[in-house]
A = this chain, B = another copy of it.
Amino acid sequence: MFSYMRKILRINLSNKKVSCEPLKDEIIKKFIGGRGFGAWILWSELPPKVNALGSENKMVISAGPLAGTKAQGAHRLMVQFKSPLTGTYFRSVCGGFFAAEMKSAGYDALIIEGRGEKPTYIYIHDESLEFRDASEISGMTTDATREFLYDETDRKARMLIIGPAGERLVKFAAIVTDNLRTASRGGGGAVMGSKNLKAIVIKGSKKPEIYDEKTFNDAVKEQVEKIKGSPGIESLRNFGTSMAVYPEYIGGCCPSYNYRQEELQNIEAFKPENIAGYIVKHYGCFGCMVRCGKIFKISKGPYAGFVGDMPEYETLWSFGVNLGNTNIESIIYANMLADLYGLDTISCGVAIGFAMELYEKGIIGKSETDGLHLRWGDPDIIPELVRRIALRIGIGNLLAEGVREAAKVIGRGAEKYAMHIKGLELPGHDPRRAKSRGLSLLTSPIGASHTIGGFVGEERGLPYKGKHIDPFTTGGKGEMTKETQCEHALIETGVWCLFVNMSAELYSKLLYAATGIEEFKDPKTLLICGERILNLERAFNVREGFNGSYDKMPERITKEPIPRSAPSKGQVFEEEVLLKDYYRACKWDERGIPTKEKLVELGLEDVAQKLNL
């Protein structure tokens, strides 16, 4: 039980009650931490069908068991809630320093409940907690909020902040940390906004204890060596994820024009050597040697002078390739605005692409776009739409609902161009290009998330369990997808960064050395925890009314073969066969519902019972 703080802080904004609850052994052993805790708490405590933006929704904010230790990349933060964007269970994850600071303050997790009567922020300093008036900082951009909060709390405090988008309940509003890392997907910012919670500020003074220092330090050394030798690490250090756009485009994975995958002129703008020219500084999250965080500077064009967090691959895609926009400065600037307003850039870019395609097709006209001419690739219109979405101005107010809901309002066949799964907008990885990856997007408990199952690498030349994988075949992809999803669920109990390539074996070694818990000695037991979490998340969604019929690709992905010249040319996503194979691998029934047998096997008898299986 070393390295756990053994405390969960329950914070109710409605009645301002705070209680510190012990973290039970049983929960630790079953769910380890991070994503496991949140999945368990949401399943156990959220009544079915609560309004995601109502005071009944809860937000679980948790660290992994190794957060704050010397382990590399074990310090990401897990934020879980019922999503106002998808209506499903949701988990959003971010880097930075908050998780380690939360451990320093003495907590493994926070549970946020209720709704503040007035705009509020929470200041936690070790054992003390204050509900403070946030009317002064209310409405402010994230960076301005941070500066005000530094003055009012502690310059070394760590924070989760929402911007104007979260306050306006934009359905894909992000939660932004003090150093601009974000828990961006699924509308966590809107959940905070709905709770009148502008920020959580935390400062601590404790250190997690280690059960067996020597073994732990040796395992960390092993980890460091492994990271040093892992492929792509130098590239991540030098360029972050931003260098991936060009090769991913060439490989036919990075989709252009709202997934139409037509040729994009001037794609050379995304070549790593060009992207690198914008980077002026490198930084890392707590306890991470990779330091993939980059700071940009714009030196030319209309946005010259601005400096901020360099967009990741996904944003260079969503505001760039996805919109036919090869003006890097416009992407960087739009991303900066999204950080200031607090917006998920994937959903935001996809919503803009959706609007551009509808405008092109004549489904919407200038009367619906506030007079804007929504041309593909217009570098000025993109930051402007980011602003309108964040502030819910004009067409932005509609797009702020996400593409699924916006398509419903528009009607006229708009749904065909709404690129989402379960309401979550697709990221920059074409499911047609890598079938296991696509299957993972399709079946993920939170909708089209690219970080909840198999990495692209496994279908792009890197071996998987020692074998080369053909990205285009369907055979064996069900099993592979299930396995990588379970691995990811385990990794996210960590809460490990995906860039340190943690394995179940090394995790087990580190975890046992840090905690002394016998059950963690066997990597197989850990992998069962991963599967347990994935099944519990699925059960949550089933209880909400989502069965396999919601495992549904946009029509374009299943029916339109990729037209452009790339290795993926001519591919579609074979939804039916892949899905059937996956359900079988999961031991779920043909409706995509976990079987009683599987749930019992995973020690989730009570879950099976609640689902009347």
Contact = CB atoms under 8 A, between A and B. Distances in A.
Contact of A164 (B148, B280, B304): B304
Interface stretch (A45-53, A98-106, A138-146, A234-242): A138-146
A503 interface: no
Nearest to A307: B144
Contacts of A144: 297, 305-308
A393 to B, nearest CB: 7
- A interface bracket (residues with beta carbon within 8 Å of B): 20 to 34
Contact of A297 (B139, B299, B340, B393): B139
A413 interface: no
Nearest to A280: B136
A141 B341 contact: no
Contacts of A164: 304-305
Contact of A305 (B147, B302, B341): B341
Nearest to A388: B302
A163 B302 contact: no
B302 A139 contact: no
A407 interface: no
A387 interface: yes
A307 B393 contact: no
B307 A140 contact: yes
Contacts of A163: 305
Contacts of A66: none
Given A164-B304, A304-B164, A305-B164, A140 B393 contact: no
Given A136-B280, A280-B136, A307 B387 contact: no
Interface of A: 136, 139-141, 144, 147-148, 163-164, 280-281, 297-299, 302, 304-308, 340-341, 387, 390-391, 393
Contact of A387 (B147, B302, B308): B302
Contacts of A340: 305
Contacts of A302: 387, 391, 393
A141 B305 CA distance: 5
A393 B393 CA distance: 28
A393 B380 CA distance: 15
- Of A281, A298, A307, A341, most buried by chain B (CB within 10 Å of CB) is A307
A389 to B, nearest CB: 13
B305 A391 contact: yes
- Of A139, A302, A305, most buried by chain B (CB within 10 Å of CB) is A305
A574 to B, nearest CB: 45
Contacts of A391: 302, 304-305
A148 B141 CA distance: 20
Given A305-B164, A391-B305, A140 B297 contact: yes
A141 B306 contact: yes
Contacts of A305: 139-141, 144, 163-164, 340-341, 390-391
Contacts of A297: 136, 139-140, 144
Contacts of A308: 144
Nearest to A384: B302
Given A139-B297, A144-B305, A305-B391, 12 more contacts: A136-B297, A139-B304, A139-B305, A140-B305, A141-B305, A144-B297, A144-B306, A144-B308, A148-B281, A302-B387, A302-B391, A305-B341
A371 to B, nearest CB: 13
Contacts of A140: 297, 305, 307
Contacts of A141: 305-307
23 contacts: A136-B280, A136-B281, A136-B297, A139-B298, A139-B299, A139-B304, A140-B305, A141-B305, A141-B307, A144-B297, A144-B305, A144-B306, A144-B308, A147-B307, A148-B281, A148-B307, A164-B305, A302-B387, A302-B393, A304-B391, A305-B340, A305-B390, A305-B391
